[in-house]
Homo-oligomer: A and B are copies of this chain.
Amino acid sequence: MASEESLRQSLAAKLLEIESLGNNVRALKASRAAKSEIDSAIEALNGLKLERASIERDLQAAMNAAGDGSVNREVFRQTVVNTLERRLFYIPSFKIYRGVAGLYDYGPPGCAVKSNVLAFWRQHFVLEENMLEVDCPCVTPEVVLKASGHVDKFTDLMVKDEKTGTCYRADHLIKDFCNETLQKDLTITSEKAAELKHVLAVLDDLSTEELGAKIKEYGITAPDTKNPLSDPYPFNLMFQTSIGPSGLSPGYMRPETAQGIFVNFKDLYYYNGCKLPFAAAQIGQAFRNEISPRQGLLRVREFTLAEIEHFVDPEDKSHPKFSEGANLEFLMFPREEQMSGHSAKKIPLGEAVARGIVNNQTLGYFIGRVYLFLSRLGIDNDRLRFRQHLANEMAHYAADCWDAEIECSYGWIECVGIADRSAYDLRAHSEKSGVALVAAEKFSEPREVEKLVITPVKKELGLSFKGNQKMVVEALEAMNEKEALEMKANLDSKGEVEFYVCTLGKNVTIKKNMVAISKEKKKEHQRVFTPSVIEPSFGIGRIIYCLFEHSYYMRPSKSGDEQLNVFRFPPLVAPIKCTVFPLVQHEQFEKVAKDISKSLTVFGISHKIDITGTSIGRRYARTDELGVPFAVTVDSTSSVTIRERDSKDQVRVNVEEAASVVKDVTEGVRTWADVWSTFPHHSSASADDED
C-alpha cells in the first residue's frame, strides 16, 4: 500500500485537476459549447471524482493502519467495558443522578478484585519486606502541601469559553484539533500533517505561552459553542476545603499518600531502631480535581494509591536481596533506546544494574518486585514494559525514574512509578517545619576527620578595607578547600595575594596577617545525613483496569450461535473463587451443595451457591463472565464434579473432599494439573455448554 505521505500528495494533485476541469466545464457551459463537448468534459470530471474517492479511501485505510488499529482497539474496549458494566465490576458513580465525570464505584465483583489485589500487595511488599505500614488522613492542612510543592505546582493548564465560562484542558483541545484534522481533513498537505504530528509529540513540553499561541494559530474555539477561548492559565488540581468552622484553615484532599509518610519520618526511623534502610508503606485514597476527565477508569478524580517510601543511605544504595531477582528478564525501555528510536527489549535485571542502565541496586530490586507483582496478578508480560524517564520528564532532584507501563486499548499506560527521589521530600519538610528529618550513622569508634578552618582577622581587614570589610570577610569564608589551600600556599611563599571579591566586582590584596587558614583534626562519633527515598507508587485502579483487558477473551458457545465472555483471572484475584450448583433442582443435591458451601465459608473461600433452575451451561457462562475459576456441580450425593474455567476440564471428587480440593487449588497449594492427574476425569462433556 502507498504511504500516507504519497497518498496525500496524489490527493492534492487530484483536487487540483478536479478544480481545473470543473472551471473548464463551467467555461464550456458559459460559452454555450456543443452538448457533446460539455458531456464528455463532465464524464471526465466524474472520472476524476471517482479517482479522488478511491485515493481518500486508501488514505483513510493508511491512517487507520498507522494508528495501530485504533478502530479495532476501540471496538475491543467497548466489548470489555460493556461486560464490566453489565456485571457491575464497576458503575459510574451516582448514576441515578446522571453521574459525575471521573468518579466510579466498584460493584461487587470489582470490589472483590480490588480487595484481592490490595491483600496480595500487602503480602508481596509489606509482609515480605517487613515494611512499616501507616494509615494517614486524606484531609491535609495547607502547610504540608505548600512544603511538598503541590500548592504551587500541582496544576494543569486550562482555557475558558469566554462567554459561557465552560473550562477545557488546553492540551486536550490542541490534541483533539490535531487528531481530527489528521483523521478527517484529507486535503491537508503532507508538510501540514507532519507539523501536526510534531505538535502531538511535543505537546507535554509546550509552555503556557506556546499552548496559547497554538490555539490562536489554529483558530481553535470552544467545542460546544464555537465561542472564543481565553488564554491558558494554571488550575490547581487539588480539591480544596476548609478545616474547622472558622474558614481560616485551608486544607486539601491529598493528591498522593506519600506526604503522610514523609512527615512521620522521625517517628518511623525511631520505631525501626534508628536503622536504615527501612520502608514505610501506605494504601489509601488520593484525589485530583481533573479539569475534564476522559479515558474511563484510567483518569479519575478519586483513586486508590499504594505507595512505598524506602529510606536509604545516599552513600549506600545496595540491597541485600538484590541477587534474588538479578536473573529476572523482562521488557525494559531505557532512555537511550527511546532517544534512538528503538523499542523496548528484554534485559536481565542484574545486567541492567551492572551496566548502570538502572541507577542502583535498590531501585533495581523494586523494579524486579513490581514485575513479579504485576505478572502474578495476571498482567501479560508481553504487554508490560519498564520505561525510563527521559531527562526532561524527571523532576530536577530525581536520580532516576522508571515507569511500569501496561499496554491496553488506550496505548501504553503508566501504572506504577518507581522513582529515586533523592533527599528532596525530607529536606523540604525539614525546612518548612524546622524539625530535622535526618538519620545518623554511628561509627563503631570515633573517626578523626580533617576540617578546613578559615579565620579572617577582622581587625586587620577593617583597617585595610573599611566599609568593604564585610564583603571581603564573606568572600574569604566562602572559599572551597582547593581555593583556600592555594591562597595559604601563596601567602606562605609571597606574603600577599590578589583575591577577586565578586560582590565588589574587583580584586583586593590579601596579606598574610589578614587571614588564618589551617586544617584541623576533629573526632566525630557519627555521620548525620538526610536519607534518600526510593518510591514505588502504584495506581491500583489503573492496574485493575489493565488486568480486566488482559484477562478478557471470548469463545463460542457449544452450539456455536453465540460468543461467550470469559475473564481468565488467576484464583488470587478472582472475585469469587468457586460456584456451587446442584445439577438439577433436587432436595438432596441442594443439601450437599449447602454443606460444601458451609465448608468453603469455614475455609474463608469466597464462593456463590446457585440453586436456580437455570441450565448448567447457562450457569457456567454466567460465572465464566465473572472470572470464577472453579465450579462444583452436585449431581449425586456421594461425589461431585469440579470444573476448571479455561480448559473446561472436569474431575470427579468425593463430596467430603470437594471443599478442600477447591481450597488448595485456589490458594496455590496445588495446581490444577496436579488435581487433573489425581482424580478421575468426568467423561461426558455433556454438562458443559448445554443450554
Q: Enumerate chain A interface residues (CB-CB to B < 8 A).
A: 87-88, 91, 93-97, 100-101, 103-108, 110-112, 114-115, 119, 122-123, 127-128, 130, 132-141, 143-144, 158, 165-167, 235, 239-246, 248-249, 251, 253, 260, 263-264, 266-268, 271, 273, 280, 285, 287, 289-292, 301-302, 429, 432-433, 435, 437, 601, 604, 606, 608, 612
Judge whether B106 and A135 touch: CB under 8 Å: yes
6 residue pairs from A and B, CB less than 8 Å apart: A93-B137, A94-B144, A111-B135, A123-B604, A139-B287, A243-B289
The docked-state distance in angstroms from the alpha carbon of A267 to that of B248 is 42
The docked-state distance in angstroms from the alpha carbon of A435 to that of B97 is 9
The docked-state distance in angstroms from the alpha carbon of A457 to that of B290 is 59
Tally of this chain's copies: 2
Choose one: B111, B144, B158; the contact of A245 (CB below 8 Å): B158
Choose one: B240, B264, B301; the contact of A91 (CB below 8 Å): B264
14 extra interchain contacts, Cβ-Cβ under 8 A, other than A103-B137, A106-B134, A239-B243?
A88-B267, A94-B143, A95-B263, A100-B251, A101-B244, A105-B136, A106-B135, A106-B136, A108-B133, A111-B133, A127-B604, A130-B608, A239-B241, A245-B291
A268 contacts across to B, CB distance below 8 A: 88, 107-108
Q: Is the interface of A mostly helix, strand, loop or mixed?
A: mixed
A114 contacts across to B, CB distance below 8 A: 135
The smallest C-beta distance from A148 to any residue of chain B, in angstroms, reads 12
A239 contacts across to B, CB distance below 8 A: 139, 241-243, 251
Asked, given contacts A91-B267, A107-B264, A134-B106, whether A235 binds B245 with beta carbons under 8 Å apart, the answer is yes
Instruction: Across the A-B interface, give the 6 residue pairs with the lowest CB-CB distance, nearest first.
Output: A106-B135, A96-B433, A167-B245, A108-B132, A96-B435, A137-B302
The docked-state distance in angstroms from the alpha carbon of A64 to that of B452 is 65
List the B residue with the shortest CB-CB distance to A265.
B96
The smallest C-beta distance from A26 to any residue of chain B, in angstroms, reads 51
The smallest C-beta distance from A306 to any residue of chain B, in angstroms, reads 13
Asked, given contacts A107-B264, A123-B604, A601-B128, whether A94 binds B133 with beta carbons under 8 Å apart, the answer is no
The smallest C-beta distance from A255 to any residue of chain B, in angstroms, reads 13
Judge whether A97 and B143 touch: CB under 8 Å: yes
A140 contacts across to B, CB distance below 8 A: 94
The docked-state distance in angstroms from the alpha carbon of A105 to that of B88 is 33
The docked-state distance in angstroms from the alpha carbon of A246 to that of B128 is 46
The docked-state distance in angstroms from the alpha carbon of A243 to that of B285 is 16
A123 contacts across to B, CB distance below 8 A: 604
The docked-state distance in angstroms from the alpha carbon of A126 to that of B123 is 21
List the B residue with the shortest CB-CB distance to A128.
B601
The smallest C-beta distance from A298 to any residue of chain B, in angstroms, reads 16
List the B residue with the shortest CB-CB distance to A434.
B96
Choose one: B249, B273, B280; the contact of A612 (CB below 8 Å): B273
